[in-house]
Amino acid sequence: MKSAMLGSDISGAEVTNVSRQGFWLLLGDEELFVPFKEFPWFADAPIGKLMHVELPQPHHLYWPELDVDLDVKSIRNPAAFPLMAHT
């Protein structure tokens, strides 16, 4: 029997909390903090679009409504991935 939250088993990624400083992203049993200072593409995003995250590959995150792609490594170590785009 399918759960009431369709797609929840498929995505593998879930935004669990949002604050003024950033948001928490659950990947399996690992929770990562995504600070807006390091990831400015999300700072002004509507909550609904921020919550719609996909995990098309084990280390690749995609927010289709924001057209943002991120490697999970860039969240774990943002200093190793300098910003390449301006907001």
- 25 closest CA partner among 65, 71, 67: 71
Taking 50 as the threshold, does the pLDDT of residue 9 lie above it?
A: no
**pTM exceeding 0.85:** no
Query: What residues are paired with 33 via a beta bridge?
Result: 24
Q: Indicate the DSSP class of residue 20.
A: S
Residue 2's pLDDT is what?
39
Is 18 exposed, middle or buried (CB count within 10 Å of its CB: 0-12, 13-18, 19+)? Answer: middle
Single-letter residue type at 70: L
Of the two residues 84 and 72, the one the predictor is more confident about is 72
Residue 68's pLDDT is what?
96
Model confidence pLDDT, tens digit, residues 14-54: 999 999 999 999 999 999 999 999 999 999 999 999 999 99
CATH class (in words) of the domain with range 8-80:
alpha beta
Residue 79's pLDDT is what?
83
Cβ partners under 8 Å of residue 13, min gap 6: 25, 26, 27, 53, 54, 55, 61
pLDDT band at 78 (very low <50, low <70, confident <90, very high): confident
Single-letter residue type at 62: Y
Q: Indicate the DSSP class of residue 58.
A: T
